[in-house]
Amino acid sequence: MDFVGIGEATKILGLSRTSIQKLVDSGKLPAVKTNGGHRRILRSSIEALNQKMGHKAMLRLASAQPGSLHHLTDLHTDQEQIHVLIVEDDEPTASLLVALFETHYPDIKCTVAVDGLDAVLQLERVRPRILITDLNMEPFDGFRLLNMVFSRAEYQAISTIVMSGLSESEIQQRGGLPPEVLFLPKPISLERLRGFLDAHVQIHRQYRARA
């Protein structure tokens, strides 16, 4: 049988060592312990779980914490970070995004709101650089939130991403999206999302270097 260590597992799955360890500890990724105390994971179990669940679900499993939608997630203490507001009532999806920021973007400070009304309150408190929102939420949905954001001058500098399981035709039937919005259909393309975030982080770092 072909076993791999934690380090090689991180390369195969694209997750952090901490995330892999959480999957092992939770029993989602079976492993054995050597006489020296090192964990060894069966390569076939890694490949099977990855094919069955996909990268998104793997991140969700590794990062999900009870009640994670109801608190601020501070990923760094630097006050000059990029602030991102996530508006998502589905806890696994929100946990996936938080894990993505925690693993790859120390420059980003992440706040999670559970619906559009919660987001309105958070907008005043954190004034985010980036807004990531779902559309189908109760009682205050993403369409109402976007109408409010794009109607107020103080929010015009916010870059906005919409993630939704609605088709583009369904979105058009409900009024469509502002042209400045980046639409990412669910299931989320992490590559497109990371490309968007990478560009913002690079611009932010260049600005800080010049300052």
Among residues 55, 71, 52, which one has the least CA distance to residue 103? 55
Mean pLDDT across 159-182 = 93
pTM: 0.62
164: confidence class by pLDDT, cuts 50, 70, 90 = very high
Go through the domains of the chain in sequence order and give each one's CATH number: 3-63 (1.10.1660), 68-210 (3.40.50.2300)
59: confidence class by pLDDT, cuts 50, 70, 90 = low
At 76 the pLDDT is 34
70: confidence class by pLDDT, cuts 50, 70, 90 = very low
Amino acid code (one letter) for 125: R
At 11 the pLDDT is 79
**Torsions phi, psi for 132 (to 5 deg):** -120, 120
**Torsions phi, psi for 184 (to 5 deg):** -120, 110
Q: Give the pLDDT confidence of 1-50 residue by residue, as tens digits.
A: 467 888 887 777 777 778 777 777 766 667 777 767 777 877 777 766 66
HSE of 186 in the Cβ direction (CA atoms, 13 Å)? 19
Q: Give the pLDDT confidence of 110-127 residue by residue, as tens digits.
A: 999 988 888 988 898 888
Q: Give the pLDDT confidence of 74-110 residue by residue, as tens digits.
A: 333 334 678 999 999 888 888 889 888 888 888 888 9
